[in-house]
Amino acid sequence: MLKAIGASLGIAIGKALVIREEVVEVKESKVKDSKSELIRFNNAVQEAIAQLHKVIEDVKEKLGSEKAEIFEAHLCMLEDPEFIGSIQKKIENDKFNAEYSLQTIAQDTAAIFEKMDNKYMTERATDIRDVSKRVLNVLMGVKVTSIADIQEECILVAKDLTPSDTAQIDKANVLAFVTEIGGRTAHTSIIARSLELPAVVGAGKGICEIKDGDLIIVDGGEGNVIINPDKATLKDYEKRRKEFIESTHELLKYANMKSTTIDGKTVELAANIGSAGDLESVLKNGAEAIGLFRTEFLYMSKDALPTEEEQFTEYKSVLEKMNGKTVIIRTLDIGGDKKLDYLPLDEEMNPFLGYRAIRLCLDRTDIFRTQLRALVRASAYGKLKIMFPMICNLQELRMAKKILEQCKDELKSEGVAFDKDIKVGIMIEIPSAAVISDILAKEVDFFSIGTNDLIQYTLAVDRMNEKISYLYDFYHPAVLRLISLVIDNGHKAGITVNMCGEMAGDTNLIPVLLGFGLDEFSMSAASILRARKTITNSNFEKCQKLSQPILTFGDSDEIKEYIKANIKA
């Protein structure tokens, strides 16, 4: 059995599909018979075209036309006589082997695109590389699994899945996934929770034991992976799986309740989403608002920066579907573990401490303004609040607000209708912001505590690194003190304080956060009903009294014991 990090609740039993990263090394050689080499190349191109047609058809059917656009662009490249013609010439005239001819022309073409002034063209370099890799794989007989292309029921096993790989998963075929690296608050894990897909991450080199077709059990709650279980274990997990499904079903009775404690304190239970597509599960689970819309997933689903119009359409659709309920939309938070293929950023030693989120937006104001204009326009269609991520000082907040005001002025002079009183908030996810939260509170309408990052920055523990995940601790007294401080400072200034990090859905800590006075809990849709059960079984006054001593403890084990003995709902 592999013991790792439980990233998303649920039990799955199925055949493993191991995704290996194939390293293909291309050798340069000359061929005697360039005619048959040319035929070999042309056949490979035709095979790649056929693969792409199939991928496009499947992706369109399962995930919608938008997600298929990138593959359509690849198809155009394989049908481009200039690009393909130069490779054919290199084979025919210079008598180089097909693999080498393809690779050199692809590299040269990508380099030309990269140097162009036009951003759209520079972004095409990635497509050239991707599509050439597809043809190269055919030529070299390398079998690759495209996640969007999986046809049979399986459990994915991979070194890592990027957030955009995970967003392509079709739950009809993928029952769960297991990865070698990653942490509970990495975005891949967060997406698994929003898909309600069992997942175990950070399983280390142990995953090498898993072969394609092995029967495996994934227990996403306990973080266990069992490879080729014996009959008794299999029976036991089939029973547990059934019980998990039944208990999840049982929770549906909490879907239409208010989030009110036994003694009458009502808080707001909200959902975190990555796209309008997540709303079905949000509404099914009875979320009262959207506490965090991570807009970067909209950017990831495209193969170029989304236009103002595309963004406006998506934001408007979420606001309309939420039908008057609050939707907090966070401005772009790219960087860290979230990358855009078409927006290459310099390699950084510490990407989580680097050019990320609001830092990037305040530098690339062209990107920021496009998003803010789309948001302001969408505000006419519901109750929109705008939130800035990764604010670390007052200047950043003031600059972001100033640009927002400029966008509003522009739209006003263009005669566009929008909500004149859009509320603006910030994420408190950097310790410096938590420490000066009394000052920041005077300049915003709300705070939302982003514990995923706040913990990694407070404890200096990379949220992605499974080797040090034992140090990534929700219960660390420093983290709990900062949270309590931010709530108090927010309330002193008369603003609401939310939490949208994964800690908000931790049923052991919810009574403590209630006691600290948190106003809104925002989490993956799949966690809402369990959270509501905890809240409706809690006594607010008791939580208030019992949570105070926690701020005097020095050790997280002590805190866990105390909560278990005194507070757990």
Q: Does 335 bind Mg ion (CB under 5 A)?
A: no
Q: Can you tell me which of 281, 326, 379, 451 binds ligand PEP, judged by CB under 6 A?
A: 451
Helix boundaries (H) for 450-538: 451-459, 477-492, 510-516, 528-536
Q: CA-to-CA distance for 49 and 327, rounded, in angstroms?
A: 42
Longest dimension (CA), the chain: 86
Cβ closest to ligand PEP, residue 370 vs residue 458: 458
Catalytic residue, from 74, 154, 187, 543: name it.
Answer: 187
Query: ∠ CA(132), CA(138), CA(140), 5° rounding?
Result: 100
Stretch that binds ligand PEP, among 196-204, 276-284, 363-371, 451-459 (CB under 6 A): 451-459
Q: Does 337 bind Mg ion (CB under 5 A)?
A: no
Q: Is 187 noted as a catalytic residue in this protein? A: yes
Cβ closest to ligand PEP, residue 9 vs residue 483: 483
Q: Return the residues of window 400-429 that contact Mg ion according to CB under 5 A.
A: 429
Q: Can you tell me which of 278, 453, 462, 473 binds ligand PEP, judged by CB under 6 A?
A: 453
Q: How far is the CB of 292 from ligand PEP (least distance, A)?
A: 6
The DSSP line for 136-188 is HHHHTT-----GGG--S-EEEEES---HHHHHT--TTTEEEEEESS--TTSHH
Stretch that binds ligand PEP, among 6-14, 52-60, 446-454, 490-498 (CB under 6 A): 446-454
Q: Can you tell me which of 268, 288, 341, 429 binds ligand PEP, judged by CB under 6 A?
A: 429
Amino acid letter, residue 528: I
Q: Does 450 bind Mg ion (CB under 5 A)?
A: yes
Q: Is 249 noted as a catalytic residue in this protein? A: no
Q: For the sheet with 199-201, list strands across it.
A: 2-3, 224-227, 215-219, 11-19, 154-158, 174-179, 199-201, 5-8
Alpha carbon of residue 153 to chain centroid: 23
Amino acid letter, residue 458: T
Q: CA-to-CA distance for 495 and 445, rounded, in angstroms?
A: 6
Q: How far is the CB of 416 from ligand PEP (least distance, A)?
A: 29
Q: Does 194 bind ligand PEP (CB under 6 A)?
A: no
Q: Does 453 bind Mg ion (CB under 5 A)?
A: yes
Cβ closest to ligand PEP, residue 131 vs residue 482: 482
Q: Does 333 bind ligand PEP (CB under 6 A)?
A: yes
User: Number of residues in contact with ligand PEP, rule: CB under 6 A?
Assistant: 10
Q: CA-to-CA distance for 523 and 527, rounded, in angstroms?
A: 6
Amino acid letter, residue 128: I
Residue 531, C-beta contacts closer than 8 angstroms, at least 6 positions apart: 259, 269, 504, 505, 507, 510, 521, 523
Place of tokens 């050798």: 27
Q: Can you tell me which of 168, 452, 489, 538 binds ligand PEP, judged by CB under 6 A?
A: 452
Q: Return the residues of window 460-519 that contact ligand PEP according to CB under 6 A.
A: 500-501
Q: Does 502 bind Mg ion (CB under 5 A)?
A: no
Stretch that binds ligand PEP, among 11-19, 117-125, 412-420, 447-455 (CB under 6 A): 447-455
Contact footprint for ligand PEP (CB under 6 A): 292, 294, 333, 429, 450-453, 500-501
